[in-house]
Every structure is written in structure tokens, then in C-alpha cells.
Amino acid sequence: MAFTLPELSYAYDALEPHIDARTMEIHHTKHHAAYTTNLNAAIQGTEMEKMTIEEILTNISKYPAAVRNNGGGFYNHNLFWTVMSPNSEGEPSDQMNIHKAITRDFGSFENFKKEFSAASMTRFGSGWAWLCVDAGDKLFITSTANQDNPLMDVVEAKGTPILGLDVWEHAYYLNYQNRRADYVSAFFSVVDWHAVTQRYNDANPGALNF
Ligand code: MN
């Protein structure tokens, strides 16, 4: 079964002025599309054709680099588009489980934002910053290089990613040039906390017991 490039649930210009339409269009129709095509080519005729992307990524040490790079790229961008929205409220409301968990594990939303931004800024070169749930139902922040992600059995900090920020230059260079800090700051204006809290609840049924 071939993987397919998902449609976005909003228009390319919907996240402006925070993320510009041209960047969104190239990012989706060129970068994400290429990862999808190259992933399908890399798994053709192998056992991976019958696996979900999550099954492939959690066993990625068994597979060639082309699957790690393009499978990561396919999964990471799928997640990225769905944790952003033009209707972002900026931060999660007090009633959301993700707000309660962030307060529990980072002290405050402001402190979480500071730590997530630091992870985004200190990732040297291309990669991603992540908010994840670990095996003990606790939240943690990490970053990974290239198209790796916390599902992969090859990374140090493993968990279920529920929020991801693409810090490759292709994600911001047209609008922000070298100013990654401005892009990271703008990202918080478009995070869909309803989607993140849904991912948190799915990753962690225990989360409902606050
Ligand atoms: Mn990207």
C-alpha cells in the first residue's frame, strides 16, 4: 500500500502573516510530496508495504537510510500540518488536559514555551523540536536532526510526539531568512491546541484521570 500526500485542512495563505502562503505551498507540494514519493519508492517490494508508518518508524534501525529520511519526512510533515490552525487561540485553555499536563510537567505554560523555543533554537542545522509523551505518561521536550523523530528506535529520547516544529530552513527562509527565533515565536500564534490535546489524550488514556 502506497502512502499518500494528505491535503491540508486550510488554505496555503490561512496561516499568514505568521507563515506565508508561498512557503506553505512549496513546503507541501514540493518538500512533503518528495518525501512521500521517495518513501514509496524505498519500500516498494519489501515487507514495509504492509506496515503502517508508525510500525516502520519504531523499527527504523532495520531499514535503509532512504526509509529513515523519507519515512520521517512523510510522518513529520503529516503531524506538522495538523497541529497548526488559522483559528489558534495561542495557548491551551485551563480545561484542556494538555494545559493541565504542561502545568504539571513544566510548571507553567510560559516556562514550557521557553523550553520548547530553546530546543528549536539550539537544534544545529536541520531538524525538528518536539513535545512528546513518554512511557510513564509524562511530557518532555526534545529535538531531533534531519527527519528523525521520537518514534524511531535510533533516537535517544523516545516517546509519542504530540507537537512538532520544523526548523529546516525550507520552513521559514523565504519570509524570515536567517531569523529562526522570529519564526519560532510566530509558530505559537498558529498552534492548534485542540489538536495537540487530542493527540495527548490518544497517546495517553491515563491523561483523562486529572
Ligand atoms: Mn519541512
pLDDT tens for 138-149 read 999 999 999 999
Of residues 147, 148, 151, 146, the one with CA closest to residue 162: 151
> pLDDT confidence of 134, banded at 50, 70, 90?
very high
* Rounded distance from Cα 36 to ligand 1 centre (Å): 12
Cα of 169 vs centre of ligand 1, distance in Å, is 8
Distance 171 CA to ligand 1 centre (A): 5
pLDDT at 207 > cutoff 60:
no
Ligand 1 centroid–CA 96 distance in Å is: 28
Q: How far is the CA of 122 from the centre of ligand 1 (A)?
A: 17
Whether residue 209 is predicted with pLDDT greater than 70 in this model: the reply is no
Rounded to the nearest angstrom, the distance between the alpha carbon of 8 and the centre of ligand 1 is 14
